[in-house]
Chain A
């Protein structure tokens, strides 16, 4: 999924603010989870906590894929 995301341009040539806000909101939330994971690893957190956060990251990345797919499709319908 992340490879597909990385293959996309960072944004469509014309962005619709409502949909872009959905994309940027999820991107920011994933970055925040990544930051928490780094901190947790440093503090040798329990594996269950790491696993929970990692699962959450996976779910958020899945949501981001869906939103970016919809954005790409909507852009092509212009």
Chain B
């Protein structure tokens, strides 16, 4: 555990350093030469290629640090939630809100909206009062329980209609439900959360390996007309080593029948699989629709029990954290 805290501190320091560096860089005149990232001030790059390579290295460090923050934070929370809630009911979908009874009115008040969650994406705000879900009006003493009850019958990825009261007016939203606590463990055959820590963050296998560098863009109408599709997600950079059989410029229309609506959605869909699992992709390549049968790459990193380190991760770097330089600053 001590190691984990060190890692978290390392990554936090790196990101904080990035913030400091970014803030500091604003004060440096554009004409003043800067040291390259990761090099002493006396070492000057002599070509644009060097600068590009070092910029890419700095970006990669940032992203690797971000992966570690996410992975370690999630594992810590999994352990804690497992301790606090050892026997919660698995299997229901969620919309990403914290609910409480609405004072003096019928309905369930949204106390918090989960950042990046389904409700937030749909436009629901904290303070809204949910008065109906899927056409069922909330009545009685426990409207929050009614919402939870309704959500038990909802499957992940299905659309839920939510009517809220905001500033005295009703508004209707369509929210796409996501898997709730325990669903991931039951759906994908992972260890029973009641008998051990929560599984690795969904999609964590994509932090390393060939999928990691795949780049996706949500199709805009203009992009769509160029690539010959109104829907789908554009593969800006295909995974390395021919993984998933994708190529630059492909448009992903469906993954095992699930239609990605954005880069994030495609990432969530891919993250719901396990390394080594097979999947089917419907794509457009050079204006032709193709079906690809592909296999997700096996996990590249090997988690060593007790240390939670990945092969090739930041922790294996020889230099101590305080010597990592980014954006040309000698000190962090």
Contact = CB atoms under 8 A, between A and B. Distances in A.
Interface of A: 2, 5-6, 10-11, 13-42, 49, 52-53, 56-57, 59-61, 63-64, 66-67, 69-71, 73-74, 77-78
A14 B115 contact: no
B74 A66 contact: no
**Main SS of the interface on chain B?**
helix
B150 interface: no
Nearest to A5: B115
Contacts of A67: 66, 69-70
A15 B66 contact: no
Q: Quick one: which of A16, A36, A78 has the most chain B CB within 10 A? A: A16
B81 A56 contact: yes
Contact of B15 (A16, A17, A41, A69): A69
A25 B115 contact: no
A43 B204 CA distance: 33
Contacts of A22: 66-67, 69-71, 201, 207
Contact of A31 (B118, B144, B148, B264): B118
Interface residues of B, number: 75
Contacts of B218: 11
Question: When A and B form their complex, which 10 residue pairs have the shortest distance between CB atoms, in order from nearest?
Answer: A18-B212, A27-B116, A22-B70, A15-B263, A63-B73, A70-B66, A21-B203, A31-B96, A25-B201, A31-B114
Contacts of B180: 32, 35
A41 B130 CA distance: 17
A63 B36 CA distance: 28
Interface stretch (B55-63, B162-170, B311-319): B55-63
Given A5-B115, A21-B204, A28-B202, A59 B73 contact: yes
Interface string B84-97: 11001000001111
A25 B18 contact: no
A8 to B, nearest CB: 9
A8 B157 CA distance: 24
A14 B144 contact: no
A25 to B, nearest CB: 4
Interface string B286-302: 00000000000000000
Nearest to A48: B84
